[in-house]
Amino acid sequence: MKKFILFLLISTTIYATKISDVANIVGVRDNQLIGYSLVVGLKKTGDGTTSKFTLQSIANMLKSMNIDMKPIDIKSKNVAAVVVTATLKPFARQGDKFDITVSSIGDAKSLEGGTLLMTPLKGVDGKIYALAQGPLSIGGKNDRAAGSESHPTVGLVYEGGFVEREIMIDLYHQEYVTLSLKESNFKNSVSVQKAINEVYNTQVAVAMDPRTIKLKKPQNRSMIEFLAEVQDIDMNYQPKSKIIINERTGTIIAGVDIEVKPIIMTHGDITIKIREQESAAQPEGSMVVDNDLVIGLNENEIYTRKGTTTVANLVRSLQKLGATPKDIISILEAMKSAGSISADLKVI
């Protein structure tokens, strides 16, 4: 039996949010660190003899301890070569601890139970900013980040990094500072400018482009006080609509108010017809399945009860009709190509 879906249209929404949620302070950012080292203490799950760089690294380490041995004579499988990565937060000070990620680069089967040897972590300029060392954990954050899959060749050392060199950011002595919106948008840039100037009743903020707002510190405040106040100011924010699709898991994430424009399309035995209409009357012989949807029992039709048509309505309705995640993803991609959905569609 052919399935038919009818929807109506909805308007966009503007939200109130704090400036700190939508804008960053230029110059205040994370810095990526990287290093190379060895993980020891593995139970014969480390790199084999084919990973020659691991054997050479072991030989170099032993030589630094006054033990001279050729790489060809090393047969241990309890060691794995790894790359260590970490993120150094802004304003980190000497002695601060942070988590690090350890990833195998050889043919090790697992890093479980291993201990990372002392590792210098360098920035993009080649200077050492931190040291890392400690026992690895394969579970916890790593499992949650990877979903249901297990990755025994990637682990974490919780608070295994120690800051050695600080990255100085001098905000206190500055007269000017720049905000950068996380998403480029003319309306939001002007909205930030307007909200800040209304609070201070003077022209302290100027929108330079759809993403950049330049600020001048008032005379009676320090830059730190000024930025603390600015970040806490409420503004009218129009978010950029996005639809995130994970084709592997069939997961679809979309805002509740992403509008679907008029369109008629067919996918398999499902026909979708979206048109503008002032009201959506409930058809005779139908039943309400939730606050928004009405299913026609005789014709397998779906209507919106409140006269709205959004991606959320569409996905929920398709699920009621038994459409698979693959079908829903194909329909959304076709609608995006046809211009019925203006939101950004990101497939991961």
Most confident of 61-70, 90-99, 285-294, 339-348: 90-99
Q: Give the chain's domains with CATH numbers.
A: 16-27+170-237 (3.30.1360), 31-163 (no CATH), 241-347 (no CATH)
Q: Answer yes or no: is pLDDT of 272 > 80.
A: no
Where is pLDDT greater, at 151 or 81?
81
Look at residue 242 in the predicted model and tell me its pLDDT. 76
User: Which pLDDT band holds residue 68 (cuts at 50, 70, 90)?
Assistant: confident
Q: What is the pTM of this model?
A: 0.66
Look at residue 7 in the predicted model and tell me its pLDDT. 41
Look at residue 203 in the predicted model and tell me its pLDDT. 92
Computed from CA positions of residues 311, 312, 317, 318, in that sequence, does the dihedral angle turn out positive or negative?
positive
Q: What is the average pLDDT across 287-308? A: 47
- Cα separation, 212 vs 337, in Å, equals 31
- Listing from the earlier edge strand, what are the strands of the sheet with 344-347? 251-254, 242-246, 344-347
- Cα separation, 103 vs 31, in Å, equals 19
- Cα separation, 292 vs 316, in Å, equals 10
Which residue type is seen at 227?
A: L
Structure tokens at 55: 């054997």
Structure tokens at 310: 């959004």
What number of other Cβ atoms are within 10 A of residue 70's Cβ? 9
Look at residue 275 in the predicted model and tell me its pLDDT. 61
Q: What is the average pLDDT across 200-206? A: 93
- Cα separation, 282 vs 303, in Å, equals 8
Q: What is the average pLDDT across 172-196? A: 92
Contact 314, 7 (CB under 8 A): yes
Average of per-residue pLDDT values in the chain: 80
